[in-house]
């Protein structure tokens, strides 16, 4: 590997960019061209120790700062993110492959979490009860956890970290971000902008790397809470290992999101919504729709509309304004997706639109997969069971809404589910009976706004609390209840019995 000519990313520790201790480096590739564009350090335990030391040193002053002062720094950070949004979207597009417009939208969703976190003086307010016993008062506090860490996936290099650190910082914690090693540059831009916004040194740190860095985080005794977003097997590993080492953990995993289409749905609207939800960002969204459950007579006309539109999706590099869909993240990801399409054919699904040979002139080395549509998929097939994480939609045909709900509830993943219908009755039945964390009614990708919490059920989330919203505030704080009495001189002292405060 030529480490001399290409840029080597530093780490961000103690308020500045620092060279890593590790000698291991990985390659960052532009997925639209297949070219290696920079190198990323794969941090070791020494690097993680340095970040923890910086975060620990910064903690006492940061947690003691009034919440409003912390909020004001986040307000400035929010403005800087807004100012630099287009440049950052181009950076995300270059390393991830998604279109610049899509990248910009995801940064906007992240900025909304910063905006939520700026309300922290209100969000941290506790309860107060006077005279719970005679001249005894009680109140509750929420205090920061301490040094927290976030480990994030490649598919949202700006938004997913922003699900975590704005809330963690606002609550008075210091933070170490371990972004995906596939597209880590965005995390450095955010560190620079936090610095420009006036964040004290050491409050936010970035350590790049892979399993070695993650394990150092999970084992470190001074890290008190870990937020993770990524694939299900790693999420389970993070949850179990982190918990075993005494940490509070929330670990969001993979997904297999179903969209149920009733015969009474507006099929033109539904097909257009499903095309965006299935093929946007090349299907590399944890809330992407990958299974279309067509109920009764909806199947034939829906399949025809989806096929016609899928064939017209403009596939191209993310920096080309007319592109609707870019490449997938790596050559290995492309090969895996192609292999799953082959299996779908071999297992008997009907391949209606075949994306295995996309033509993108001038980008022959890019990792492109064309929009792919299967009909007559079944729950036994690999294209149904596995999270493909690529631009592949599979139609499963069922007879009734009840059968559709049973299918969703039997799936091990439970991140999002959507229903397309004009019936209020069907809608209510769906939202009540589907055992999934996030539900959309005529909304294909029901990602909750920042002031609600985001998270799935079953294998899509390990832990008790979802991210951002009030669950985020609860995750990054510990509750404390205080009971006070101010006796006058001469009052009787409490005796040996358990006080009943009566």
Q: What residues are labeled active site?
A: 286
Residue with tokens 């307010």: 125
- In terms of C-beta density within 10 A (0-12 exposed, 13-18 middle, 19 or more buried), how is residue 246 classed? exposed
The encoded tokens of residue 474 equal 């609860």
Measured over the CA atoms of residue 437, residue 443, residue 449 and residue 452, the dihedral's sign is negative
CA atoms of 207 and 239, how far apart (whole Å): 20
| Secondary structure element (H or E) that encloses residue 72, with its range | helix 67-83
Beta strands 35-41 and 7-8 are parallel
Of residues 33, 50, 94, 152, which one binds ligand NAD by CB under 6 A?
152
**Which of 106, 453, 460, 477 is in the footprint of ligand NAD by CB under 6 A?**
460
Smaller CB separation from ligand NAD, 92 or 426: 92
Site for ligand NAD in 15-34 (CB under 6 A): none
Q: What is the dihedral of CA 73, 74, 75, 77, to 10 degrees?
A: 90
Separation in Å, CA 253 to CA 412, 416, 443, 495: 11, 12, 22, 52
Strand partners, 467: 454
Residue 459 contacts ligand NAD per CB under 6 A: no
Q: How far is the CB of 55 from ligand NAD (least distance, A)?
A: 18
Decide: is 181 part of the binding site for ligand NAD (CB under 6 A).
yes
Listed ranges 186-194, 253-261, 266-274, 372-380: which one lies at the site for ligand NAD (CB under 6 A):
253-261
**CB-CB contact of 437 with 460 (8 Å):** yes
# residues near ligand NAD by CB under 6 A: 27
Residue 126: Cβ within 10 Å count: 12
Among 230, 283, 316, 370, binds ligand NAD (CB under 6 A): 230
Residue whose beta carbon is closest to ligand NAD: 230
Please list every residue from 315 through 334 that binds ligand NAD, using CB under 6 A. none
Q: What is the DSSP string of 104-148?
A: HHHHHHHHHHHHHHTTHHHHT---EEEEEETTEEEEEEEEE-SEE
Residue 101 to residues 25, 320, 322, Cα–Cα distance (Å)? 30, 10, 10
Within 397-456, the residues that bind ligand NAD by CB under 6 A are 415, 456
Residue 151 touches ligand NAD, criterion: CB under 6 A: yes
Which range in 178-186, 257-265, 292-300, 426-434 contacts ligand NAD by CB under 6 A? 178-186
- The strands making up 392-398's β-sheet, listed across from edge to edge, are 350-353, 372-375, 392-398, 289-295, 257-261, 416-420, 438-441
Segment interacting with ligand NAD (CB under 6 A) among 41-49, 115-123, 228-236, 341-349? 228-236
Selected binder of ligand NAD within 116, 389, 430, 476 (CB under 6 A): 389
Tell me the per-residue interface mask from 276 to 315 with ligand NAD, x by CB under 6 A, - otherwise.
----------x-----------------------------
Tell me which of 229, 273, 434, 465 binds ligand NAD, using CB under 6 A. 229
Pick the binder of ligand NAD from 113, 206, 252, 291 (CB under 6 A): 252
Residue 286 or 473 having the CB closest to ligand NAD: 286
Interface pattern 341-380 for ligand NAD (x via CB under 6 A): ----------------------------------------
Length of the chain: 502
The one among 47, 183, 375, 387 contacting ligand NAD by CB under 6 A: 387
Among 210, 272, 319, 386, binds ligand NAD (CB under 6 A): 210
41 binds ligand NAD (CB under 6 A): no
The one segment of 57-65, 128-136, 150-158, 340-348 that binds ligand NAD by CB under 6 A: 150-158
**Per CB under 6 A, 214 contacts ligand NAD:** yes
| 254 forms part of the interface with ligand NAD (CB under 6 A) | yes
DSSP state of 296: G
- Give yes or no for a contact between 264 and 422, defined as CB atoms under 8 angstroms apart: yes
Residues 63, 64, 66, 72, CA torsion sign = negative
Binding residues vs ligand NAD (CB under 6 A):
151-156, 160, 178, 180-181, 210-211, 214, 229-231, 234, 252-255, 286, 387, 389, 415, 456, 460
């Amino acid at each position: 590997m030529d480490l001399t000519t290409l840029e080597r990313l530093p780490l961000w520790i103690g308020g500045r960019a620092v060279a890593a201790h590790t000698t291991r480096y990985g390659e960052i590739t532009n997925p639209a061209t297949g070219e290696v564009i920079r190198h990323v350090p794969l941090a070791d335990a020494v690097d993680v120790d340095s970040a923890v030391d910086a975060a620990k040193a910064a903690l006492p002053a940061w947690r003691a700062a009034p919440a409003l002062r912390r909020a004001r720094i986040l307000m400035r950070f929010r403005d800087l993110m807004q100012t630099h949004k287009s440049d950052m979207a181009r950076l995300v597009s270059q390393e991830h492959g998604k279109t610049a417009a899509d990248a910009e939208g995801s940064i906007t969703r992240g900025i909304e979490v910063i905006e939520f976190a700026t309300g922290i003086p209100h969000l941290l307010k506790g309860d107060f009860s006077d005279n719970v016993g005679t001249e005894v008062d009680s109140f509750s506090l929420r205090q920061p956890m301490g040094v927290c860490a976030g480990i994030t996936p490649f598919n949202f290099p700006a938004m997913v970290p922003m699900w975590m650190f704005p809330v963690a910082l606002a609550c008075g914690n210091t933070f170490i971000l371990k972004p995906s090693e596939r597209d880590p540059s965005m995390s450095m831009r955010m560190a620079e902008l936090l610095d420009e916004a006036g964040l004290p040194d050491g409050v936010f740190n970035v350590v790049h790397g892979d399993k070695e860095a993650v394990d150092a985080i999970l084992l470190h005794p001074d890290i008190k809470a870990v937020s993770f977003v990524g694939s299900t097997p790693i999420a389970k590993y993070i949850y179990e290992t982190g918990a075993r080492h005494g940490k509070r953990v929330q670990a969001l995993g993979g997904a297999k999101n179903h969209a149920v289409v009733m015969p009474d749905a507006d099929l033109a609207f539904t097909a257009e919504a499903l095309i965006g939800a299935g093929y946007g960002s090349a299907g590399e969204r944890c809330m992407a729709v990958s299974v279309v459950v067509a109920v009764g007579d909806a199947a034939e006309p829906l399949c025809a509309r989806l096929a016609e539109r899928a064939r017209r999706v403009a596939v191209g590099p993310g920096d080309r304004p007319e592109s609707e869909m870019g490449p997938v993240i790596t050559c290995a990801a492309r090969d895996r997706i192609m292999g799953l399409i082959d299996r779908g054919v071999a297992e008997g699904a009907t391949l209606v639109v075949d994306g295995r040979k996309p033509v993108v002139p001038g980008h022959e080395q890019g990792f492109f997969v064309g929009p792919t549509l299967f009909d007559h998929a079944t729950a036994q097939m690999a294209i149904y069971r596995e999270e493909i994480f690529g631009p592949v939609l599979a139609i499963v045909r069922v007879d009734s809404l009840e059968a559709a709900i049973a299918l969703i509830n039997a799936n091990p993943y439970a991140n999002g589910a959507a229903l397309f219908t004009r019936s209020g009755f069907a809608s209510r039945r769906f939202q009540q009976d589907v055992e999934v964390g996030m539900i959309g009614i005529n909304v294909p990708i029901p990602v909750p706004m920042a002031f609600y919490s985001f998270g799935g059920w079953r294998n899509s989330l390990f832990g008790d609390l979802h991210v951002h919203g009030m669950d985020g505030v609860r995750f990054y704080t510990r509750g404390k209840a205080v009971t006070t009495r101010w006796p006058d001189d001469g009052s009787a002292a409490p005796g040996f019995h358990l006080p009943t405060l009566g």
